[in-house]
Structure 1
Amino acid sequence: MASYDTYGTSTHTVDDLVRLVSVRLGMTFTERESHFRGVYHLADDHSVRVEVQPNEVPGDDEDEPFDDAHPECRVLVLTTTTTPGTTLRARLESIEGLLHLRHESV
């Protein structure tokens, strides 16, 4: 079973959040670029995948929100885990201004 969580902030920039999440989780992020998602940052260690994604994604005519349910959040943190646990969530929620927005298990 996989767990997916989405966090968001309107107070941090992408670079700030990459630095803060990297320190909290001890993970190294690499910058990626996607035609559909724009520039985002990825850290992956087999059981935990963390992405820092701007909520505004370049579109054909204008920027479109990656998560249109939370347009107030400028930056999103997306996590995918294969082993359930509360440690990841607690570490991310300890970042001031980062809010847990959604959880889904599949």
Structure 2
Amino acid sequence: MADYDTYGSSTHTAGDLVRLVSARLGTTFRERESHFRGIYYLADDHSVRVEVQPNEVPGDDEDVPFDDAHPEYRILVLTTTTTPGTTLRARLESIEGLLHLRHESV
């Protein structure tokens, strides 16, 4: 079973969130580049995966939202955990301007 959470910010840049999330979680992010996703940042631990993803990704003709349901948020923080992430959620929700948007367990 895995938990997936999505957070959004319309006030922070990706760089701001990489710095803030790193400080809260004690993680190190690596910059990644994808044809589909553009430039995003990844911190991958054995039990927790955190991504900082701009919500506008390059498209063929124009930028398209990575998360169609929340186009108003410029930057997304995506988490995947193998165990319920209540501590993770509390730490991320303590970041001013970062809002919890969605939770899914699969």
Decide: shared fold, TM above 0.5: yes
Question: Is 1:7–2:10 an aligned residue pair?
Answer: no
Offset at residue 85 of structure 1 (A): 3.1
Question: Post-superposition, which runs of at least 4 consecutive aligned residues in structure 1 deviate over 4 A?
Answer: none
Helix, strand or coil: the match of 1:15?
helix
Task: Report the residue type matching 1:63 in the other structure.
Answer: D
* Per-residue Cα deviation, 1:21-40 (whole angstroms, up to 9, x for no partner): 00000000000000100000
Helix, strand or coil: the match of 1:49?
strand
Structure 2 distance, partners of 1:75, 1:85, is: 21
Helix, strand or coil: the match of 2:12?
coil
Q: Which residue of structure 2 aligns with residue 52 of structure 1? A: 52
1:15-30 equivalences in 2 (<5 Å): 15-30=15-30
Mark the runs of 5 or more structure 1 residues left unpaired by the alignment: none
Say how many residue pairs are matched: 106
Mark the runs of 5 or more structure 2 residues left unpaired by the alignment: none
Task: Report the residue type matching 1:56 in the other structure.
Answer: E
Q: What RMSD, in angstroms, separates the aligned Cα atoms of the two structures? A: 0.5
Task: Report the residue type matching 1:70 in the other structure.
Answer: H
TM-score when normalising by structure 2 = 0.99
Q: Which residue of structure 2 aligns with residue 40 of structure 1? A: 40
1:73-92 equivalences in 2 (<5 Å): 73-92=73-92
- Percent identity over the alignment? 89
Task: Report the residue type matching 1:105 in the other structure.
Answer: S
